[in-house]
Structure 1
């Protein structure tokens, strides 16, 4: 059996721990509504800004999910009450994500003020995770599932870790070995029940990948683990907030898609200029009212016009 060297395993661990964050490693899961709120904040992050206005209609436009006042209020209450702990040199720092939330009556909007100590965590999430990874990892309650998911994501296109790795190395990556070398779950049955099987169940249920593992013996005891991973093919694609793209740009793309335009074409049209698109639609509607043109298929008419301009490919 060809195995990872200690150096290769350490590289795996280093890749993982670069993505460590108190929010993702906490023993919390997040509802779809809570995730939408967090993602709206992430997509609006600015260096010198703490307060962000979130509109329920914007969430609906970007995700297709509609949240009422009670759902939003309960979600912000739950997020605001959660404590996240950061281990520092010689201390543990406890922080809360929100400093305050103010609902604007009659406007379908609310203002979230994130706490100053939590600000670096939000930027770290935005810089180190894709929105699909973050949505997946925050859907798991087990800290081991969160960590194994991030490790497994590195090999999703290959189908498995390149080689089996020593179980002790995996334990070190999962924080199951302290600084003195004392291990948790020394019995393989405990490790399977408390860590591996829980992680497998949550990853397969909540994330965009399938996860499995196989244990190998050396002599009479299990010493190695092979992890298998693949991309879920049967999960339908949903509209999601992509916090790597500014909220206004995403709103413009969704608005154009409402005309029956594909997302790829909508992105090209927005790149050309959303204001230009609005002027184009207004002009077409004006001409149609006057009887100058007859538009039976709006999507085909828009695509055809933009193809003639060379903005969309033929």
Structure 2
């Protein structure tokens, strides 16, 4: 599998005679765990490999010895190769799996991240050739010579790491972040002594870890926070970060912390991982009982464990039946059956069937990894990782799907895509569905007042019809036009400076929910309040804020602080009495929109007192307004 001419670097390395090339066999070097890579290869190389492929390449790099003067030629059996890949070597399609793994790696190009002010881009492949002898069961792999200066006889600007620490990692991003941390660690410690921060540019980081996320919230949850959870307490370093620079609402740089862990603690962690992996492999051997095949405990491969709190590999997308069973494990289906009605359980099974069928499909712009839709697995696994499984999420959405979403889907020409999109949206916004508890003042027995007369007295009344400097019924013609109108009266630049990241994330959802209320038409509740598609009860309340403050910025600032995602949702999900967090969120937004004076006044009072701006649990805006 030779590299195409168009992908060979301008100055390719000279060919090396077979006599000069050392041979690295699995039996001789398969137990080595130390990898040495140039910082350039870690920091400036851009490539797409799955988690299992990254681990395989690290195993291959570990088979290079410091004394080697040339890149080795790797010789191993198909059985040994499969174990390095983390693939079951005992199934009936091993040659097919070997061929696919090698093709995927051979076809994955490596490209240098273009440095500022330069036009030169170098591209090459990981492998220059590969031979599979199905008769003898032997594989011979040759790395591309472009890798030689980055792996052989390294003298300076290189990173040494023990790949054992990466074995328990379940995220491809965590492994890359770990490599980056190790390569930048000396620079971080040097800057720390000088009192300077180590700053990572977010756009560059996304290229380094092969993440195409469009927004900061996704990078934060899927890449950085996931990496923290898998690195800290499990490796030889401690990783953390904080926002360093923003451009309006957009985070453009972070300052990172990369502290070394006590050497004895790190050694203990290595021993713990090694014992854990070996124990899993021995247990697997006894369960599978393959007789003559020797399951070598020295070969450390990551085994997937099917329990509710573990994330699901991308490869399950290619097998809908297997994925459906696995989602049922994450949903703790037997526990769900004890809490949900028969109709709700039927809805859950329909959702699981849809998820399993669609997870292995991709559109024109969808990225597929190991046979699974990357966006689907990243979104679903984010919920599993943050909520310890899917049960609480299913409990929160089951009734809505049973009553509305699934019946609506059945009326569509393409019900499966419709239902899948709804599920994806609800997984992305899992915070407002995950079961927690509804505060007493938000239960159905005590709905918010529909006519907040006390609040209205706080504003200057006007009989004039809303003009261009006010919201009017035409703004609510569509959700898009309503959001545009809200943004027109809200200084997002000012708020992006004032608010924390968690508060800005809350603001995004508050604006969406506000647009919904401004167009809401619930029979009985909104009778007599509609003008076209506009709900004048909410638009009128917002216009009073505009009339007094010249815009909506003070109101949305107060609401974002009240519903700060870094505190609000955390407390919400800890409350054992919550039945549906979305109801809490919706009720809080509705009350704040109908009583904006109380919200703003209480927020300002807290700022003047210099105390916490986060309202206390069980807080009543109306009580605060009446008793300032």
State if a TM-score over 0.5 links the two structures: no
The structure richer in strand per residue is: 1
TM-score by length of 2: 0.25
Quick one: higher RCO (CA 8 Å, sep 6+), 1 or 2? Answer: 1
TM-score by length of 1: 0.45
